[in-house]
Amino acid sequence: MALSPMDVTQLAAVDAARAARVLSEVRSARLSGRRVPVRPRPVIEQSWQRMLRSGVDPDHDFRSGLLSREELERRRAHSPLRTVLPVLRQGLLSVADVARHIMVVADAEGRVLWREGSAPVLRMADGLGFELGADWREDVVGTNGVGTPAVTRRPVQVFASEHFVRSHTTWTCAGAPITDPRDGRLIGVVDVSGPLETMHPATLAWVESVAGLAEARLRELHTRSLERLRAVAAPVLARTGGRAAVVDRDGWTAAVTGMPYTRRIALPRPLAAGPGRLPVVGPCTVEPFAGGWLVRAVAGEPVPADGTRIVLDLRQPRHWSVEVTGAMGSWTYGLSPRHAELLYVLAVHRTGRSAAALAADLFGDPARTVTVRAEMSRVRRYLGAHLHHRPYRFREDAEVRVLLPDDPCDLLPHSTAPAVTRRRASAAPD
């Protein structure tokens, strides 16, 4: 009797060895071009397709150089994940030794920054190259519990021969992405791994819930930091005439005076004190202020329309951005997955899209206009001067360019938006 992908997952919960044999047959058949006895789970099959396109060797593992101790410590010191390590340890390490698991925390580039848990399993991980400073991106080491969640932006469990590279097929892992709750950008992945016999169907839900607790902690810490900045800013703004705002180093607004509240003001990188122009504010002066910036609006004409260039860069997974260049200089803003999808659709349809059309493009449901309007409202906070509505579109007098991956099949690989999947499908080889 044929087994469905779900049946294999259920089988693994009661008979890991048999499930591993079935998946080994599936992997061998898929790689040799034969008919598979069981279809891989969709998330695994899609990952394997990416591996075949990118040329990852399924029979020989590849290990890029480890980070130096100095670079590892530098990344740890600058990673926002360091502030949620206590949450991850409390949630995951309490049973790791008993369950023969290890916890691995990697940054957005797939580099292993922390690794703790069962000592025997840590030694086994060493044999797989799953070491501190190792590069576990999907396109480097194949389908795995660190790199695949980073690409798909969803929790993923990889069991036995669901791993693309043969040397990893004695292993099981479950990983969940951790995103910045302020803007949805990926900041890392937390993974629980161990020998294949340690597989349990509840592991993925366990890891996902702890990742959610970590994101909640990041949200709480950000709120507290803005409250502290607001307390310092209040008396200063009370004495400031005209329009002004105090923002943190990333542009998140702590307090305003004389102007509407905007959740975030896009700041150029690097930002230097002095005169300039910022989205939403317009011509302004910028001064360092208590761990952030004091932005004072000044009178001035808007940026001339001619010469404005907007570049949407979608080439690198997890590092999408929009760059705006005009008469007053340029600035770049990192994009969340949803905003990357939105701006891609608007760049393709320069004549504009109604809310219903955008809802169909993004969700396959033209009725989801409320969600579209909410997202467009967020986009307009940093691109307001360069977008029109009714219909939604880039301003007609701006030059708009889209930088795509070399392989069109790698366009926004996480995305399930119909407009994006149609583009990927049209570029896929027959």
* Backbone angles phi and psi of 374, in degrees to 5: -65, -45
Give per-residue pLDDT as tens, 102-122.
999 999 999 999 999 989 999
* CATH match of 56-219 with 3.40.50.1980: no
pLDDT exceeds cutoff 50 at 306: no
Range from 25-29, 121-125, 128-132 carrying the lowest mean pLDDT: 25-29
pLDDT computed for residue 97 by the predictor: 62
How many other CB atoms are there within 10 angstroms of residue 135's CB atom?
A: 21
Joined together, the tokens standing for residue 247 give 């923002």
pLDDT computed for residue 121 by the predictor: 92
pLDDT exceeds cutoff 90 at 74: yes
pLDDT computed for residue 27 by the predictor: 84
pLDDT computed for residue 301 by the predictor: 40
Taking alpha carbons only, the member of 242, 247, 272, 270 closest to residue 257 is: 242
Cα angle value 4/5/7 (rounded, 5°): 65
Q: Do 363 and 371 contact (CB within 8 A), yes or no?
A: yes
Give per-residue pLDDT as tens, 359-398.
999 999 999 999 999 888 888 877 877 888 889 999 888 8
What is the domain partition of the chain in residue ranges?
56-219, 240-297, 309-427
Give per-residue pLDDT as tens, 197-230.
777 778 899 999 999 999 999 999 999 999 999 9
Give the separation between CA 248 and CA 271, rounded to whole angstroms: 12
Which pLDDT band holds residue 98 (cuts at 50, 70, 90)? low
Q: Do 64 and 29 contact (CB within 8 A), yes or no?
A: no
Give per-residue pLDDT as tens, 317-355.
778 888 887 655 567 788 888 999 999 999 999 899 999
Taking alpha carbons only, the member of 364, 367, 366, 362 closest to residue 379 is: 362
pLDDT computed for residue 388 by the predictor: 85
- Of 304 and 24, more confident: 24
The pTM score is: 0.70
Query: Mean pLDDT throughout 291-313?
Result: 72
* Backbone angles phi and psi of 323, in degrees to 5: -115, 130
- Tell me the pLDDT of the chain averaged across its residues: 86
- Give the start-end residues of each E strand in 218-318: 244-248, 253-257, 274-278, 282-289, 292-297, 309-313
pLDDT computed for residue 67 by the predictor: 94
Share of the chain above pLDDT 90, in %: 47
Give per-residue pLDDT as tens, 41-65.
889 999 999 998 888 999 888 888 8
pLDDT computed for residue 302 by the predictor: 47
pLDDT computed for residue 5 by the predictor: 55
